[in-house]
Structure 1
Amino acid sequence: MGMSRRQMVAGLGGLAVSLAPGPALLDPRPAAAEPPPAVPQGVGPDRLALDEDFWRAVARQYRVSPDFVNLENGYYGIMPEPVRLAYHRNVDHLNEQSSRLLRTSYKAQADRVRERVATVLGASAQEIALTRGGTEALQNLIGGYNRLRPGDAVMYADLDYHSARYAMNWLRDRRGVSVERMVVPEPATRQAVLDAYATALRDHPKVKLLLLSHMNNRTGLVLPVREITAMARDSGVDVIVDAAHSWGQLDFTIGDLGADFAFFSLHKWMGAPLGSGFLYIRAGRLADIDPAFADETYPGDDIRSRVHSGTMDVAPILTVGTALDFHEVLGGPVKQSRLRFLRDRWVHQVRDIPDLEILTPEDPAMYGTMTAFRITGRTSEADNVALTDHLFEHHRIFTVRRGGPARGDCVRVTPALFTSRDDVDLLAAAVRDLVRRFRR
């Protein structure tokens, strides 16, 4: 049901668009599904990241409210127009065809989606099972992991996703294990992170399962997953990787992570509709994850038996192909460079401010676009809600407070592909005002 890359790029020569500066506005009229601008030949991703004319054309692919600057795009990455319109068509098609679609052509269509997802990820379709989001995927992997025995331990970090931590805590009763918690060092460096995980694994020899966030949803820190996974494997520890925020924001394939088990969201940085994600189990490791609720819909050697969602809204899944078309027209390297540029643009204007803590390091391998900050001494939930409220009420900038880091709460900033240079410049000025007002 998705547009082909050829279809999406075709006709760009006749695309008449205004390059006037300013944010993409919410137009109440039905929008046409225009393709994104073609990536210029011979222009590298880092150079293209600076081209505001190009990115204004990309921003026009999104229907964005003019009432505020949205810098909280980590919760849900909105659909670009070709995807939104395809989703509406799929909702209508599902509603018109009803059970006939579900009982006839849907499974074959879903299998084609699995093939597309697997190809972009660098995996085989037999290693992919579609889910209703990253949370369902993580619950099925963590809850289904069957190599734990009473007396074993599992481990997660302070920065890991709360729903994944809850599922790990559930293993205490489900599998009779103990639960260990470690702290990711702050400020973080690559070596400090590696040392922290090495120490945690050494000090907790009963740990058999480790939860590992590629990019965590609290501060945006990117961990050296491949190295930590190899370290854990040498200690006899399996790793489940949370890649919900990294895939589509960073340019990588599953082979770059070295992971045997991982879960992903499609409605964040791939821009698919809400209600789409998948889990990954490396070939040869399927037996280590139980079928979901003793599923008998698929045979035990089929990864789809590890997910049982019941009757679900299939329109998001049917739209994934169009989202991947949009992603591939721009390309992972181009998206990654632009998103890192937006982060650098505001961070480098404020990092010299006394009492302002930026919670991702300057090592480009350890961040994408999502970054958090804290005002020294302002570490409570109430403190940081006050900061986000001030940013919105006085500057019309929407951000979110995040809890979880051992050293205290923070404010998370998440630009998107439609975010302009002016938007993050506005944020930088607002942060200076914020520190002046709220510094202890």
Structure 2
Amino acid sequence: MDNHDASGLANVRLPDPGGRSPAELAADEHWWAQVAAQYDLTDEVVMLDNGYWGSMARPVLQAFQQAAALANRDNAWFGRRAFPPLFEQARARLAEALGVDSNEIALTRGATEAMQILIGGYRGLSPGDTVLYADTDHDSVIAAMHWLQERRGVQARSIALPEPFDHDAIVDAYRQALARYPRTRVLLLTQVSHRHGLLLPVAEISALARAAGADVVLDAAHGIGQVDTPLRELDVDFIGINLHKWIGAPVGAGAVYIRQGRLHDIDPYMGEADTDVIDSRVHTGTVNFATFLALPLALELHERIGVANKRARLLRLRNQWLDALRDDPRVQLLASSDPRLSSAIAAFRLRGQHGMAANTATAERMLRQSRVFVLARDGLASGACIRATPGIFSTPAQMQALVEAVRAVAG
């Protein structure tokens, strides 16, 4: 079973883009209908919580199911003999897709595991040092920063990023925080916030951190696969990656990236030898064989669609609903019109509704009244919000359904 072979996509027929730019292709509904035709999706709701994980395309799902059946049939004979080289093929294929060396990538069960490896294992800390994060970061990763405080005697400090979003103000917020906390050694950045979709100017902030003597640990769970910035251009040495969100791999696939030359700045996993091999920093245990056997096919389809094309389409869908509501005084949008700060994810709240209970109730009303499925999110300094996330298979009609659902609950 050679999972580097793209034969699983032999029946996938996407029209020729015809040399069009991503922005031009984003408006071609026929082209994106052909993409959507590769997915079997529920019609019970208007699914706009596609940030949880990305549904597998039908060929990837079939590869996953076939691999699960194979592993189940051949049991340990498969797991001990056939699977290891296939696992290495999947790693090499991912490294190729990301433009990095295979020994800079280790496969994990998701970005959370990858981030815990990087934060929990970071060696360059002394008592009294600062580890810094923002209100836009993920709860589980913030918890890992506080774990460092409990275990290493460092100070976990938080900043609130300014709203409304402004590129220069965000960069300046990090500049001021690094000056305020001169003993910062680890700066947590989230490339795309899971709360409201803010896309950070990672490379600019990373340069500030490096000048201040701090390392950036980047949570790229929502960035890799939907943002068309090559990984190297992020200029970060430590990155946690998700493959089951925007790449379209089966659930339970992620990766940790450690730039060549920085491996020994991360502790080996418990009891592992301190070698020059990145796998010494990860010990996931027995993995879901089928998940990683299907990964190369997911990468193949992702590349066939094109990350720049994905990004342009997702921004077009996002902007459709935001533009329709931008002048509605009853609605507060937590999203920028600056493409440098924009992702597929965006959020809103009804004016005056800052509590989690109120936003959860609004999301439930939208589901009950309009069958629009969105998600309430908490944790921002400004309060809770409701997150809406289209996928590459979403349609303009679904965006309009979101607009109408928001207007209905706004009263």
1:312 and 2:287 aligned: yes
Residues 103-122 of structure 1: pairs in structure 2 closer than 5 A:
103-122=80-99
Q: Following the alignment from structure 1 to structure 2, what is the Cα–Cα distance between the partners of residues 353 and 213?
A: 30
TM-score (norm 1): 0.91
Cα separation, 2, equivalents of 1:106 and 1:150: 43
2:350 is aligned to 375
Q: Is contact 1:115-1:125 (8 Å) kept?
A: yes
Contact 1:8 1:325 in 2 (8 A): no
Corresponding residue of 2:395: 420
TM alignment of 1:218-229, pairs within 5 A: 218-229=195-206
Q: Following the alignment from structure 1 to structure 2, what is the Cα–Cα distance between the partners of residues 314 and 183?
A: 41
Which of 306, 312, 315 does residue 337 from structure 1 map onto?
312
Q: Which of 76, 80, 98 is 2:75 aligned to?
A: 98
CA–CA distance in 1 between the matches of 2:13 and 2:216?
37
Match of 1:270?
247
> Which residue matches 1:21?
none
Q: Distance in 1 between matches of 2:13 and 2:40?
A: 14
Moved over 3 A (4+): 1-5, 7-10
- Structure 2: 5+ residue stretches without partners: none
Give the residue type in structure 2 aligned to 1:111: E
Distance 1:395 1:56 in 2: 23
The match for 2:335 among 347, 360, 382 is 360
Contact 2:111-2:241 within 8 A present in 1 as well = yes
Secondary structure at 2:294's aligned position in 1? helix
1:38, 1:329 within 8 Å by CA — same for their partners in 2? no
Give the CA deviation at 1:386.
Answer: 1.1
Q: Counterpart in 2 of 1:327? A: 302
Shift of 1:355: 3.4
**Equivalent in the alignment of 1:388:** 363
Unaligned runs of 5+ in 1: 11-33
Give 1:368 deviation, angstroms.
1.5
Aligned length: 410
Q: Which residue of 1 aligns with 2:227?
A: 250
Of the candidates 144, 149, 153, which is equivalent to residue 176 of structure 1?
A: 153
User: Partners of 2:290 and 2:158 in 1: how far apart?
Assistant: 38
Specify the alignment match of 1:157 in structure 2. Answer: 134
Among residues 207, 213, 235, which one is paired with 1:236 in the alignment? 213
Select which of 289, 292, 308 maps to 2:266: 289
Partner SS for 2:221: coil
Change (3 A) 1:230 1:118: same
Paired with 1:392 and 1:429, the residues of 2 have a C-alpha distance of 12
Find the aligned partners of 1:421 and 1:389 in 2 and give their Cα distance. Answer: 22
TM-score (norm 2): 0.97
Q: Which residue does 2:32 correspond to in 1?
A: 55
Please name the residue that 1:303 is paired with: 278
SS at match of 2:123: coil
Task: Give CA-to-partner distance per residue, 1:238-292, whole Å, 9 cap, x none.
Answer: 1100101011111121112000000000000001001110000000100000011
Relative to structure 2, which stretch is displaced further, 115-124 or 407-416? 115-124
C-alpha displacement of 1:2: 3.5
Residue 2 of structure 1 contacts residue 325 of structure 1 at CA under 8 Å; is this kept in 2?
no
Percent sequence identity is 41
Q: Secondary structure, in 3 states, of the residue corresponding to 1:180?
A: strand
Q: What does residue 399 of structure 1 align with?
A: 374
Q: Residue by residue, what CA displacement relative to the aligned partner does 1:209-258 show, whole Å, maximum 9, x if unpaired?
A: 01100101000000000000010000000110010101111112111200
Q: Distance in 1 between matches of 2:226 and 2:287?
A: 27
